[in-house]
Structure 1
């Protein structure tokens, strides 16, 4: 049986529809009612990393697990891996991040991801790491200003990022979860090209058939915008990440998506075409 955590997140909800129909799948979610797109044969159970009993129930009979954690201040990876060992899980595939490979990255989020990877490698379980670059879907944060003001606002708009379609990450995860030969491997997943926010704005405008304006945010303005969504330590980590992007740390392109899935990585344009309704300007 395969256990999927993070099923309501960016990659997890895409993964559900990509797992083979004949495989037994269990979905662990804090709020099962929020899970959508699950196969009819999948079992959805309530579970919380901080509830050992619910973890034990979710992991019973599981051989392979897809692990997604999001609490940078918590110990969810440790709690899950201890429960997985007790349940005699064989393999854990962890969603991590490409930044762990950057020696210059020492922000809170990257340190937390590295610690999670270290715990998994030391767990005694078979392990595989998926390290995606930023998701193309992060552009959805621009949707309100595009709809209302035909404007994209971002920090360091001319810095490049080889962002990856989360659907490609989900397809790679499905392959790794259901195939042999991936134990002890770490895969960095990127899109096929490095793009800037200015370039993405131009592509969006052409697809929408409107003229979009790009507005460069100052670091202080970006900090204020992020503070409305994240705790202060996370805000500072994201700003440090943006500085590394400006220095070129996120522009490298890998062919790992093609190697794992048998097809080229999807472009930002292809992702935007499939999500244009979210950006359709008003009026």
Structure 2
């Protein structure tokens, strides 16, 4: 039995869509009603990292896990891994981040990810670490301003990031969960090219057939914007991360997706072409009926 956590998130949803119908799978979510795309025979259970009893129920009979945690600074990994080991789980595939490899990265988020990786490696279970660069889907945060103003606002908009298609991350996760030979491996996952926000804006403009422009945020503006969405410590960590990108730390491209899946990593243009409706004006905004 396989357990998938984070099933309502960006990567977990894609993992579920890629599992074969005959794979025995259990899906753990705080809100099971929000789970979509699971294989037909999948079992969906409620689970919460704050509730040990729910973890014990979710892990009963499980031998492999796709693990996603997102509450930065919390001890969700420690709680889950204790329960997983007690339940007899053999292999954990964990979603981490590429920044853990960068010795210059010492922000809150990266330290938390490093600590969580150390917990898994020391757990006594087999492990596989997925270390993606930024998700291409992060550009969906631009959708509202693109729809309303034709503007992308970005900090260090001319700095490059080898962002990766979430579907590629999910494909590597499924391979690691269902094929032999991935235990003890750490996979840095990138797209096929490093792109700037300015270049991504240009590609979106071409695909949408409308003029878009990229406006540069200064650090104070970015801090203010992120401060409305995240705790102060997380916003500061994002600023430090952006500074590393400005300095070129995120521009390196790896062939890992192709090495694991046998096909090249997907391009940003291909990802954007499949998600264009998110960037288009709502029909009501152009005088058409809902």
TM-score range, shorter chain: over 0.9
**Residues 56-95 of structure 1: matches in 2 within 5 Å?**
56-95=56-95
Equivalent residue for 1:189? 189
Match of residue 128 from structure 2: 128
Structure 1 equivalent of residue 119 of structure 2: 119
Report the secondary structure of 1:99's partner residue. Answer: helix
Q: Deviations over 1:69-117 (max 9, x none)?
A: 0111210000001001110000000000000000000000000000000
Q: Which runs of 5+ in 1 are unaligned?
A: none
Q: Which residue of 1 aligns with 2:16?
A: 16
Return the TM-score normalized by structure 2.
Answer: 0.97
* Mapped contact 2:205–2:212 kept (Cα < 8 A): yes
Superposition deviation, residue 20 in structure 1: 1.7
Which residue in the other structure is 1:147 paired with? 147
- Measured in 2, the distance between the counterparts of 1:228 and 1:140 equals 17
Query: What is residue 204 of structure 2 aligned with on the other side?
Result: 204
- TM-score of the pair, normalised by structure 1: 0.99
How many residue pairs align between the two structures? 283
DSSP-derived class of the 1:252 partner: coil
- Where has structure 1 moved over 4 Å in runs of 4 or more? none
Contact 2:60-2:87 at 8 Å conserved across structures: yes
- Give the secondary-structure state (helix, strand or coil) at the position aligned to 2:123: coil
- State the 1:22 CA deviation: 1.3
CA RMSD between the two structures? 0.7
SS of residue paired to 2:44: strand
* 2:221 counterpart of 1:236: no
Q: Could you tell me how far apart the structure 2 residues matched to 1:172 and 1:192 are?
A: 15
The whole-number CA distance in structure 2 between the counterparts of 1:114 and 1:211 is 41
CA distance in 2: counterparts of 1:176 and 1:182, whole angstroms: 5
- The alignment partner of 1:45 has SS state of strand
How far apart are residue 164 of structure 1 and its match? Answer: 0.1
2:259 matches 1:259 = yes
Partners of 2:73 and 2:109 within 8 A in 1: no
Cα shift readout 1:11-49 (whole Å, capped 9, x = no counterpart): 000110101221100000001011111111100000011
Structure 1 CA distance for aligned equivalents of residues 200 and 18 of structure 2: 27
Report the Cα distance in structure 1 between the residues aligned to 2:2 and 2:222, rounded to whole angstroms.
40
Shift of 1:137: 0.3
The answer to whether the aligner puts 1:223 opposite 2:202 as a matched pair is: no
* Deviations 1:159-212 (CA, angstroms, capped at 9, x unpaired): 000000000000110000000111111000000000000000000000000110
